Structure 1
Amino acid sequence: MKNSKSAVFRRQQELLSLLKREKSIDVDTAAQELNVSPTTVRRDLNVFEKQHLVERFHGGARLLEGTLKEEDLPTTMRGKAQIDYDQKQAIARYAAGLIEDGDTIFMNSSSTTLMLLDYLHGKRVIIVTNNSNAIGYPHDPLVSIILTGGEIYQRRQSLVGEFALHTLTKINADKCFIGVGGISVRGGITTSVLPETAINEMMMRRCQGACYVLAATSKVGREHNFLSAPIDNISTLITCTGADDKEIQNLRDHHVQVIEIPYTTHTSGTESPATKK
């Protein structure tokens, strides 16, 4: 298990955190701090160099300024701009309407997908998620929630690692709803948290029906550091009106259905958004 993909991602995330804190590191010190061999640190730094995150020098590396994007933390009305919150509510409301009675769905750790629970009423649905924030989140009693289990990635309260991946291999879902750090034709489906990429990828792989990306307009055309999947792994993007027109057209040209939802700031829970094709 030491060399599993999830263990590698976790180690690399720790190395990135060290780089972010220190800006410049030497291999031996980093190896000591992370309790791994210098060879392992050098191998990870080579990966980061190919991703244009670091500049190597003899015996170490320095973080290239501006390349490591900030993590997208769970959204609250107080912690994010109202416009972003309202877009996510409108997107979740529309997406919930796509879920049918009897569906089993995958829902990843994003704040937008969690909001699906606000709008799922009167349907018997099984939700499989790696979002530990789903514990205690108010929802219709007809909705059953299954947590993947796994290690908790503290800053986002997401469940990651080999245990979570193993749970997903035992389930086939009818639909999959993925929140993202960024989506573009060139960059694919990306996130700011490396260990979550394997979870997102497995959810898409184990989905037998449509895979939906839920993304506010600020995420469309944006690229984060870590790839969950290329663009052809999804069927539909649900966003709001106002996203970059060129990027929207690029996505459609690559056979991604794009649904654009009008939204209003300070939306009410009863508003029914229309779509623009």
Structure 2
Amino acid sequence: MSRYERWNSLLELLAEHGKLEVEEAADALNVSAATIRRDLDQLARQQMVTRTRGGAVAHNVSYDLPLRYKTARNADAKQRIGAAVAALIAPGEVVGLNGGTTTTEVARALAVRPDLADRPEGGPGQTLTVVTNALNIANELTVRPQVKIVVTGGVARPQSYELIGPLAGLVLSELTLDITVLGVDAIDVEHGATAHHEGEASVNRLLAERARRVVVAADSSKLGHRAFARICALEQVDTLVTDSAVAPDLAAAFTEAGVELLTA
């Protein structure tokens, strides 16, 4: 288990229990108590947890983990989902992408699509336009000459690298999109797609509203749950792409609600 995987696991345990003792964390992660102490000290220095004698208690930011700590969670499923979503996008389309680990995998899958690559003789391949409020996605795709990048503008949020606020809304109001791919913190039949942070939810809502089609890319751990701020109602979602671990009854509920469900 890598350092980031341990940190992610510790933060998830803290989010679930509120507090954690060094010895029980060491047993849970099958590492030494000394390793756990070092991990908790490092997380405390980053203001992710509050250290206590013999352990730590949850800091409120641990419920909304920074993107760098989420990367290891369900990584294989997210890569498969990213490839499946990328296959739904046609060359020449204008694609909206919000931030998150799963949409980052969508961007990476688009970047290596053979039909979007430069031709060997030097002529341009078929192009794609990506509109995003995610700085990390813009950074990865800017070096791809076959992808035109449009960044929304706004104020950067360190947890997700997403740009939020009224500046993003001003840009999006001037654009039309063929398809928006949304990464979400949770999605269920009753509450629709939701996010932990209201500023992110607001920009994500605009990305959905400006598109002809909306695809939600979410691993099965996000399904059947809700987060703090609503992005959009389920009626606005055309397709949900998830992994094969989704429970059959949950998959049936989304299908009965009129959402096309694809598993990767």
TM-score normalised over the length of structure 2: 0.68
Cα distance between partner residues in 1 of 2:158 and 2:258? 36
**Which of 214, 218, 221 does residue 218 from structure 1 map onto?**
221
Aligned counterparts of 1:69 and 1:226: Cα–Cα separation in 2:
17
Computed over aligned residues only, the root mean square deviation of the Cα atoms, in angstroms, reads 2.4
Query: Sequence identity of aligned pairs in percent?
Result: 23
SS in 2 for 1:223: coil
| Correspondent of 1:89 among 79, 83, 88 | 79
The residue number in structure 1 matching 2:251 is: 248
Q: C-alpha deviations, 1:23-68, integer Å up to 9, x for none?
A: xxxxxxxxxxxxxxxxxxxxxxxxxxxxxxxxxxxxxxxxxx9x99
Partners of 1:140 and 1:216 in 2: CA distance: 27
Distance 1:75 1:236 in 2: 27
Pair 1:80-2:83 in alignment? no
Separation in structure 2 between the aligned mates of residue 243 and residue 253 of structure 1, nearest angstrom? 15
Residue matched to 2:176: 172
- Cα distance in structure 1, aligned partners of 2:177 and 2:138: 20
User: Is the counterpart of residue 106 in structure 1 residue 96 in structure 2?
Assistant: yes
1:140 maps onto 2:144 in alignment: yes
User: Normalization by structure 1: what TM-score?
Assistant: 0.65
The alignment of Structure 1 onto Structure 2 pairs a total of residues equal to 194
In the TM superposition, residue 72 of structure 1 has moved relative to its aligned partner by 4.4
CA separation of 1:76 and 1:118: change in aligned 2, threshold 3 A? farther
* Structure 1 residue aligned with 2:133: 130
Whether the 8 Å CA contact 2:99–2:137 is kept in 1: the answer is no
Counterparts of 1:202 and 1:188, CA distance in 2: 15
Q: Is the 8 A contact 2:154 2:168 kept in 1?
A: yes
Over 3 Å counting, the alpha-carbon distance change for 1:95 and 1:117 in structure 2 is same
Q: Would you tell me which structure has more helix in proportion to its own residues? A: 2
Q: Can you give the 5+ residue segments of structure 1 that lack an aligned partner in the other structure?
A: 1-64, 262-277
Q: Is the 8 A contact 1:69 1:225 kept in 2?
A: no
Distance 1:243 1:229 in 2: 21
Write the deviation string for residues 80-127 of structure 1: whole angstroms up to 9, x where unpaired: 23xx01111100111111111110011011221122222223241000
Give distance in 2, aligned partners of 1:214 and 1:221: 14
Please list every run of at least 4 consecutive aligned residues from structure 1 whose deviation after the TM superposition is greater than 2 angstroms.
Answer: none
